[in-house]
Amino acid sequence: MAERAPLVSRIVPLVVALFFLLVDQVTKYWVAAHVSLGQVAWSWGGDFFWLVHARNTGVAFSMGDALPGPLRSVLFLLVPIVVLILLAVFYWRDKSLFGIQRWALALVLGGGTGNLIDRAFRKHGVVDFLSFKFYGLLGMERWPTFNVADSMVVVGVALLVLSLLFSRKKRSGQPQ
């Protein structure tokens, strides 16, 4: 029984991440099939939230979208594959990871895989569709359009950073 608990604590976050990966792929498929590129299919709160079909041939905030095709393939396909494999091995082998860190890495693995699937199999780039008004903050009227996989990566990285910050304080004896 003692061996089963660690196995369950490793598998459950991956199953949840797999569920969100499926949600990511289904929503991207629906948007690509039913919403014309650039079309706002639905809005809420005036123009606060849009469900809009956008494509991203780069990475976060479309960085690298102007790179030549072969370089883009190496940077946005091969490098992420290697990183995801290394993260998966680390996730599975490292016994010092605790709960929130496992959840964080599972989300990053799921989200990274979701966008990698798009880069590998959608010739016009990653499907993005969630768009929020940003009211001119940081010089942007709208936050860059994103998807479920992007959200998984952002939440996973944020949880990982927070867990590392708080675990350091705990180890050093500082009050939390």
Q: Is residue 176 part of a domain?
A: no
Note the pLDDT of residue 89.
Answer: 95
171 belongs to a structural domain: no
Task: Work out whether strand 40-44 and strand 126-132 pair parallel, antiparallel, or are unpaired.
Answer: unpaired
- Domain of 14 in residue numbering reads as 4-165
Amino acid identity of residue 138, one-letter, is: L
Beta pairing partners, 53: 37
Buried b (16+ CB within 10 A) or exposed e, 116-155: bbbbeeeeebbbbbbbbbeeeeeeeeeebbbbbbbbbbeb
Is residue 173 included in any domain, yes or no? no
Is residue 107 one of the residues assigned to a domain? yes
Q: What is the pLDDT of residue 1?
A: 45
Q: Is residue 174 part of a domain?
A: no
Evaluate whether residue 91 is within a structural domain: yes
| Distance (Å, whole) CA 134 – CA 70 | 34
Residue 73 falls inside a structural domain: yes
DSSP single-letter state for residue 46: T
Q: How many domains does the chain have?
A: 1
Residue 63: predicted pLDDT: 72
Q: Judge whether 29 lies within some domain.
A: yes
pLDDT values of the chain reduced to their tens digit, one per residue, 176 residues: 445 557 888 999 999 999 999 999 999 999 999 999 999 999 999 999 999 999 998 777 667 677 777 777 778 888 899 999 999 999 999 888 888 999 999 999 999 999 999 999 998 889 999 999 999 888 889 999 999 999 999 999 999 999 999 876 565 555 54
- Residues tagged active-site: 128, 150
User: What pLDDT, on a 0 to 100 scale, did the predictor assign at position 149?
Assistant: 98
